[in-house]
Structure 1
Amino acid sequence: MKRVTERRTYSYLGPAGTFTEAALEQVAEARGQDWRPVHNAGEAFADVLEGRSHAAMIAIENSIEGGVSTTQDALATLPGLRIIGEYLVKVNFVLVAPRGTTLDDVQVIAAHPVAYAQCHGWLGEHLPAHSHVPAASNVASAIGMLDGSLPVQAAIAPPGIVRHYDVDVLASEIGDNAQAVTRFVLVTRVSPPPEPTGADKTSMIVELPHDHPGALLELLEQFSTRGINLSLIESRPIGDELGRYRFVLDADGHIEHERMADAVLGIRRFSPRVVFLGSYPRADRQIVQYPERYADEVFVEARDWLRGILSGEPEA
């Protein structure tokens, strides 16, 4: 009997044509499955937690603007989520308008806030007197312009917008940085991490026990003393009072590696709250390098040595 494979649903910030959809297109196991466009990250996370979707693709970091705060805060406060992969999408934008519009006609522009921030230079040079109306996504900006729900004459959108909507492109490559990249993560409900590949990343969110001189240094030493590089350190306010922050951390390596497990245990003893977000393959597939003294077998040998001392075995 032929085995029937259960179909999976993947949520992403829609509608069709967004950079998030471009990230989801990189996920081999998502091809041919059901893709569910949503309006915001909260809806995507709810889909996963409530079982409507197997996974959700969410933007978490941009090379220009840094961390996506709504995603980081949701991961810090919503229990039951786990990152299983990351994907990079090169980002640039076009300025689009209804057919027949010229650049001289443009006074108000619709744009997602992150996209708008990445186009300040071009806008300041070519449309210095414009106003900005925020949109829910990079494609929603164009839809709102076309259906009249946003009172604008033009919209900042992804280049692929022309495949889906009847618009004129008033300008291309309007992003301030042609090398801009957005990092996306694929999020599921809590499950065992993917197997180590040698090119992995571990993400977590850590709160400091209390504010005192050297508190952050004590946190970072948990990694540096075990030869672990941190590729991301970003603070976010906890929100209960001024001066209280949590730290979003990306560490090179996998939780199954002895050095990473030892560091995470050290963090757990140190911090009143640790949110383990996942260990997963790096998007660039770059093998993680570390000094030989932090190899797994060194940690194992050290534990065996201590076990021998405690059991009264003579040292070799």
Structure 2
Amino acid sequence: MTRVAFLGPDGTFTSQAAVRAAPDGDLVPKATISDVIAAVRDGDVPLGVVPMENSIEGSVNVTLDDLAFGPAGAYIRAEITIPIAMNLLAKTGSALEDITTVRSQPHALAQCRRWLSDHLPTAELQAATSTAEAAREAAAGDGSVAALGPAVAAERFGLEVRAADVHDHDGNTTRFVVLSASMAARTGADKTSIVVFFGEDRPGLLLRILDEFALRGINLTKIESRPTKQALGEYCIFIDCAGHVTDARVAEALRSVHRHAADVRILGSYARADGVVDGPGPADSDAAYAEAADWYARLTGDVSNRI
């Protein structure tokens, strides 16, 4: 049975993603995202599941930073998207007017900011390590503390759903990633995630890096900057692009990006959750690259014979 670390306790949205990743797996709850990633790096578990990005609040910076700046050894091998329904969870008998404190994971609180302002304007908002941990704390309280989280957490900790679907925007979705010590094999409908560190600052550097993908017909599905934590104004960029590192056009693009950058870290190549095949045009296919390589070999061979 495959052991799968996830952001616990049981009842979080991440636990739902972990079940999707390994339906028959042995789920191992961890207290923090960094603990999940460390468990994969250290070889304690073969798989780990962490939140990566939310459609309302954007990227989960703790995940990005740990993958970018932490030790190597944890690669993205799959992504899972889950629709998120946020609910206000409270003890049985607690009315809305009894609630003075709302606890949840910071991203969850942010996803419900407007609803909380409209319906609980005087409530104190407190951060918890996870939605399920917030539910556990609400269940242990006196009824004045509520939690934001999934309905399954209410069932898990004996709470009631006091208000359903309290997130501010429809279509609320979180993208989770499955981590392992090795990269996944090519499927043909893949995505590659990298981090580019600039080093020397010079005009047009970002443009030249992005051009390496555009010139080879590689679509970028995400680009985001994050501070390197080394100096004020010093940033790295996270890029998700279509294709797998073993695709000829992706490999050539990454080699060229590496020439321009101080460093490039590959976070993983993995199957897209949506299954979309964002394939190359005829001139950017692996066959076209192979034919061009053969042509060049013949050309240089002829030149050598003539010297």
Return the TM-score normalized by structure 2. Answer: 0.94
- State whether structure 2 residue 19 is matched by structure 1 residue 19: no
Is the Cα contact below 8 Å between 2:41 and 2:73 reproduced in 1?
A: yes
Task: Please list every run of 5 or more consecutive structure 2 residues that lacks an aligned counterpart in the other structure.
Answer: none
**Separation in structure 2 between the aligned mates of residue 197 and residue 278 of structure 1, nearest angstrom:** 13
What residue in structure 2 maps to residue 232 of structure 1? 222
Matches within 5 A, 1:27-66: 27=21, 30-66=22-58
4+ runs deviating over 6 angstroms: none
Q: Secondary structure at the match of 1:25?
A: helix
Shift of residue 286, structure 1, vs aligned partner: 1.1
**Separation in structure 2 between the aligned mates of residue 152 and residue 201 of structure 1, nearest angstrom:** 45
Is the Cα contact below 8 Å between 1:101 and 1:168 reproduced in 2?
A: no
- State whether structure 2 residue 245 is matched by structure 1 residue 255: yes
**Separation in structure 1 between the aligned mates of residue 56 and residue 233 of structure 2, nearest angstrom:** 25
Q: Percent of counterpart pairs with the same letter? A: 35
- Which of the numbers 112, 116, 119 marks the counterpart of 2:109? 116
Shift of residue 147, structure 1, vs aligned partner: 2.0
Task: Please list every run of 5 or more consecutive structure 1 residues that lacks an aligned counterpart in the other structure.
Answer: 1-6
Shift of residue 212, structure 1, vs aligned partner: 2.4
Q: CA-to-partner distance for each residue in 1:87-119, whole Å, 9 max, x for gaps?
A: 001112110111111001112111110000000
CA RMSD of aligned residues (A): 1.6
Shift of residue 308, structure 1, vs aligned partner: 1.7
Q: Secondary structure at the match of 2:20?
A: coil
Shift of residue 289, structure 1, vs aligned partner: 3.1
> Which protein has the bigger helix share?
2
Q: Secondary structure at the match of 2:192?
A: strand
Shift of residue 172, structure 1, vs aligned partner: 0.3
- State whether structure 2 residue 305 is matched by structure 1 residue 310: no
Q: Secondary structure at the match of 2:167?
A: coil
Is the Cα contact below 8 Å between 2:4 and 2:26 reproduced in 1?
A: yes
Q: CA-to-partner distance for each residue in 1:235-294, whole Å, 9 max, x for gaps?
A: 110011011111111101111111111111111222111111111100011111332211
- State whether structure 2 residue 203 is matched by structure 1 residue 209: no
Is the Cα contact below 8 Å between 2:51 and 2:60 reproduced in 1?
A: yes
**Separation in structure 2 between the aligned mates of residue 80 and residue 270 of structure 1, nearest angstrom:** 25
**Separation in structure 2 between the aligned mates of residue 211 and residue 112 of structure 1, nearest angstrom:** 37
- Which of the numbers 156, 159, 164 marks the counterpart of 2:151? 159
**Separation in structure 1 between the aligned mates of residue 179 and residue 118 of structure 2, nearest angstrom:** 39
Is the Cα contact below 8 Å between 1:13 and 1:57 reproduced in 2?
A: yes
What amino acid does structure 2 have at the position aligned with 1:158?
P
Q: CA-to-partner distance for each residue in 1:41-88, whole Å, 9 max, x for gaps?
A: 111112112221111001111111111111111111221121110000
Q: Secondary structure at the match of 1:26?
A: helix
- State whether structure 2 residue 275 is matched by structure 1 residue 285: yes
What residue in structure 2 maps to residue 298 of structure 1? 288
- Which of the numbers 112, 116, 123 marks the counterpart of 1:130? 123
- State whether structure 2 residue 67 is matched by structure 1 residue 75: yes
- Which of the numbers 76, 80, 85 marks the counterpart of 1:92? 85
Shift of residue 152, structure 1, vs aligned partner: 5.2
**Separation in structure 2 between the aligned mates of residue 306 and residue 276 of structure 1, nearest angstrom:** 29
Q: Secondary structure at the match of 2:129?
A: coil
What residue in structure 1 maps to residue 233 of structure 2? 243
- State whether structure 2 residue 7 is matched by structure 1 residue 10: no
Shift of residue 33, structure 1, vs aligned partner: 2.6
What residue in structure 2 maps to residue 175 of structure 1? 167
Q: Which moved more, 1:151-160 or 1:67-76?
A: 151-160
Shift of residue 166, structure 1, vs aligned partner: 1.3
Q: Secondary structure at the match of 1:210?
A: coil
Q: CA-to-partner distance for each residue in 1:18-52, whole Å, 9 max, x for gaps?
A: 1111111212xx23231100011111112112221
**Separation in structure 2 between the aligned mates of residue 152 and residue 142 of structure 1, nearest angstrom:** 13
Q: Secondary structure at the match of 1:213?
A: coil
What amino acid does structure 1 have at the position aligned with 2:259?
R
Count of aligned residue pairs for this structure pair? 303
Q: Which moved more, 1:122-131 or 1:245-254?
A: 122-131
Shift of residue 151, structure 1, vs aligned partner: 9.8
